[in-house]
Amino acid sequence: MNYSISLTKLAGTLLTLVLLSGYTCVVGQATAPLRLHPQNPHYFQYQNKPMVLIGSGEHYGAVVNLDFNYKKYLKATARDGMNTTRLFTGAYIEKLGDFGIKKNTLAPAEGKAILPWKRSSTAGYALGGTKFDLDQWDVAYFARLKDFMDEANRNGIIVEICLFSAHYGAGWNYSPFNPINNVNNTNEVKSVLVNTLDNGNILAYQEKYVRKMVQELNGYNNFYFEIQNEPWAESPDKVMTRNEFGPANDWKMQYQVVSQKSDEWHRRVAQWIIDEEKKQPKKHLISQNISNFSYPITEADPNISIFTFHYALPEAVYANYHLNRVIGFNETGFAGSKDETYRRQAWRFMMAGGGLFNQLDYSYSVGSEDGQDTSYEAPGGGSPALRAQFKILRNFLEGLNLIPLRPDLLVVKAAPGSTTYSLSDGRSQWVIYLEQLSVKGYPLTLNLPKGTYQAEWTDVVSGKKLLTTTVTDGVLAVPESSRDKVVVIKSKK
């Protein structure tokens, strides 16, 4: 017998079995997980390159909604130049019609929801079908989750794995942790206490779920964990007026400060992730959603690498830049459907020093996973045209020498008729985003070191170059176009 040939065949057979048994998730992966850039932790590093995350994605239900074709979706969003998406993993789903969203991917049709837990034989789940058994995992769910992650990796997509969400009162009725939806006799608690340490025996099931997610996803590099979506939306410790000219009871007029109870629970969940990853070969970033609009973070958890805001203002970056971590804007919406609104939000935030922007894009839905459906009824926006503009933003930022850049609030001395946001290295590169408010454009007056400078203006809607000029005695001409634009200024040698 030729033992060398037999051993070769045996090795090949074993390799095939390994690949078929679920280890394919590591094939084609980068050499290390997404991390903060070591020279500038306000941005990411992936595959040994600096990275910003720019996305415009579906409403987070790609895996839990069996009707949703996530392969088509991920190919489409990557084709449009996006490199990130958010994913809710099953602790929270919605009911059709919630929040005025007619085509809601996070609200599966009856019988089309798949969650991490196996169904029992007991009828009575609030959204149809049998109740869940929190002591048993659904193998089919984790196969679907891993297939989604493999497909995301193939398309160069970084996934935000969002483990929990606020329940907004009524949403608690659909949660598998609610005692009416499981056979495990979880404690009856108020919705506002579910994601706190005062939730009875639910806490143990939450821990088990988090650790399972860590175990199942550890082989992947193309994701980070976010603990909870919008913790500030339920029982905030303090509500402050943001806009005195609007209705006082409208949440869009308020800063909502996350409660201390919620923050304590977040720290516990982060520690579960850290502890479980100590047993695993790879370590992943953890994100905490802080507030709507802006908030100066207090007692930042050292286990958190990304702090995110919804409907964020540039002030969210400025107030927290000293933390030396990524500040992200990971959900837009509730501001109409105009592309211009969300394009400007993205440019303002990223040009303030943000490292992550994600648009909630309602042009994606079941049957329209390519994002071409603009007939949606929803409280936000999204369109192919908007994604094309986000692609221009991403390409522009990636084309810069990004890592030395920091927010620069002093370079623009005067900007008549315009608002500006600036980044610079303070020596040889300045980048200024300008929104023109006046009908006529006026020159900028700049604070620059003595020297000779060349400036190149770009239209942020089309990506076309508008004007190449020089800065003379600190004065920079602005192109006639009334649309928002960006200029890169470099010293001439």
Which domains does the chain show, CATH number per domain? 24-403 (3.20.20.80), 408-491 (2.60.40)
Positive or negative, the Cα torsion across 284, 288, 294, 297?
A: negative
pLDDT at 7 over 60: no
pLDDT of residue 21: 39
Confidence of residue 135 (pLDDT cuts 50, 70, 90): very high
pLDDT of residue 241: 86
| Burial class of 456 by CB neighbour count within 10 A (0 to 12, 13 to 18, 19+) | middle
pLDDT of residue 13: 39
pLDDT of residue 30: 60
Q: For the chain, give the percent of residues with pLDDT over 70.
A: 94
- What mean pLDDT is reported for the chain? 92
Give the residue among 297, 349, 356, 352 at the shortest CA–CA distance from 330.
356
- For 326-340, what is the mean pLDDT? 96
pLDDT of residue 15: 36
Q: For the chain, give the percent of residues with pLDDT over 90.
A: 85
DSSP lists the bridge partners of residue 69 as none
Q: 28, 154 in Cβ contact below 8 A?
A: yes
Chain length of the chain:
493
Query: Per-residue DSSP letters for 70-130?
Result: HHHHHHHHHHTT--EEEEE-SS----TTGGG-SS-TTSPPTT-B--SEEEEEEE--TTSSE
pLDDT of residue 12: 43
What is the spatial distance between Cα 162 and Cα 46, in angstroms, rounded to a whole number? 20
Contacts of 61 (CB under 8 A, 6+ apart): 68, 88, 93, 104, 105, 106, 107, 108
pLDDT of residue 61: 98
pLDDT at 29 over 80: no
What is the spatial distance between Cα 448 and Cα 351, in angstroms, rounded to a whole number? 18
pLDDT of residue 125: 97
Give the residue among 169, 110, 115 at the shortest CA–CA distance from 141.
115
Q: 143-157, 167-181, 226-240, 305-319: which range is least confident on average?
A: 226-240
- For 79-98, what is the mean pLDDT? 96
pLDDT of residue 9: 43
286 vs 232: which has the higher pLDDT: 286
pLDDT of residue 5: 36
Helices (H) and strands (E) in the chain, counts: 8, 24
Ranges of beta strands (E only) in 219-341 are 223-229, 238-241, 254-257, 286-292, 306-310, 326-331
What is the spatial distance between Cα 489 and Cα 428, in angstroms, rounded to a whole number? 8
